């Protein structure tokens, strides 16, 4: 425990008393962080992220070149091809935005006397410092050992997106799980129709590939689709439940008693997705500015966590 003239530091790992928005005040370190692109250099996470993209590309290849292009029904191929590829683009875009968006990291090493004085706390008020990253710990923030930062409203660290899911990128993670579940379900339905068509036509003209190759490719796609659909559907439901109850997964697992005023269901949804319900809620490109991203990258370089 450290003491100053007006208030005290206390090294703890949870239950901070600092108000949620206090540490967003004029901090040069946080302003500098806001000008940088976020990326976590974690070997396992990067491998999982690359695998995610490869699996989506594989599914797109099988759907397009094995099932749709050889089909004699033109409109069946066009409608399903456009739908599947649009969902795939939305899924991968949501994945990128989840991975490259700062989840709500607290600046490292901001637990200084100067910064503490700027918070204008009452005499004797206790604030909490993370002993791992030497940062003032806002309310509902938790330390991530992989990101090596305290993350505001941290839900969990997901290796598949190589990032924490927190206050600023939870919306994109929800969209990622939703779109992956949708393309997985779509792929399974198309596989069912394709198997039926191939069996009925005795495997003669159902694919440009040989029957054994076609069967192997479709079996792998069915396994991938089933696993991804199960996993992402559960994650999507869990995330929506957490948002509606204003409780992160970490808070639920730790059975932390809320010291904050919980938002109502729709208030929680509007807080995460922004504003009233609209198509922007399901648009991963909303708020994205390529020019601003390039300027940030040029000015400050990527914000790495090592």
Q: Which residues are catalytic?
A: 158
User: Which distant-in-sequence residues (6+ apart) come within 8 Å of 261 by Cβ?
Assistant: none
Q: Which long-range contacts (CB under 8 A, 24 or more apart) does 82-87 make?
A: 83/186, 84/60, 84/183, 84/186, 84/187, 84/190, 85/60, 87/179, 87/182, 87/183, 87/186
| Rounded Cα distance, 239 and 244, in Å | 9
Q: Which residues pair with 37 in a beta bridge?
A: 302
Give the number of C-alpha atoms closer than 13 A to the C-alpha of residue 147, restricted to the C-beta side: 31
* 199, containing H or E segment: helix 170-200
Buried b (16+ CB within 10 A) or exposed e, 65-80: ebbbebbeeeeebeeb
Q: State the Cα–Cα distance between residues 106 and 257, nearest whole angstrom.
A: 22
């Amino acid at each position: 425990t450290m003491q100053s003239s007006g208030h005290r530091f206390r090294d703890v790992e949870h239950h901070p008393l600092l108000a949620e928005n206090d540490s967003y005040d004029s901090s040069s370190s946080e302003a500098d962080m806001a000008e940088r692109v976020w990326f976590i250099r974690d070997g396992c996470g990067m491998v999982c992220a690359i695998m995610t993209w490869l699996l989506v590309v594989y599914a797109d290849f099988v759907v397009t070149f094995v099932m749709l292009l050889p089909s004699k029904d033109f409109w069946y191929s066009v409608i399903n091809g456009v739908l599947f590829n649009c969902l795939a683009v939305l899924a991968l875009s949501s994945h990128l935005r989840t991975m490259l968006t700062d989840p709500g990291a607290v600046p490292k090493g901001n637990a200084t006397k100067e910064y503490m004085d700027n918070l204008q706390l009452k005499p004797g008020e206790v604030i909490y410092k993370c002993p791992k990253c030497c940062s003032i710990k806002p309310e509902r923030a938790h330390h991530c050992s992989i990101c090596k930062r305290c993350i505001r409203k941290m839900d969990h660290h997901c290796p598949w997106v190589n990032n924490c899911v927190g206050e600023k990128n939870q919306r994109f993670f929800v969209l990622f799980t939703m779109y992956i579940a949708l393309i997985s379900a779509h792929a399974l339905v198309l596989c069912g129709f394709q198997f039926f068509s191939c069996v009925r036509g005795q495997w003669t003209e159902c694919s440009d590939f040989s029957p054994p190759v076609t069967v192997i490719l479709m079996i792998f796609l069915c396994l991938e689709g089933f696993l991804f659909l199960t996993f992402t559907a559960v994650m999507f439901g869990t995330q929506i439940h957490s948002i509606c109850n204003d409780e992160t997964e970490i808070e639920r697992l730790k059975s932390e008693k809320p010291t904050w005023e919980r938002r109502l269901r729709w208030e929680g949804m509007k807080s995460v997705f922004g504003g009233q319900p609209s198509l922007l809620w399901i648009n991963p490109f909303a708020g994205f500015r390529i020019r601003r991203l390039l300027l940030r990258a040029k000015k400050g370089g990527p914000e790495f966590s090592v």
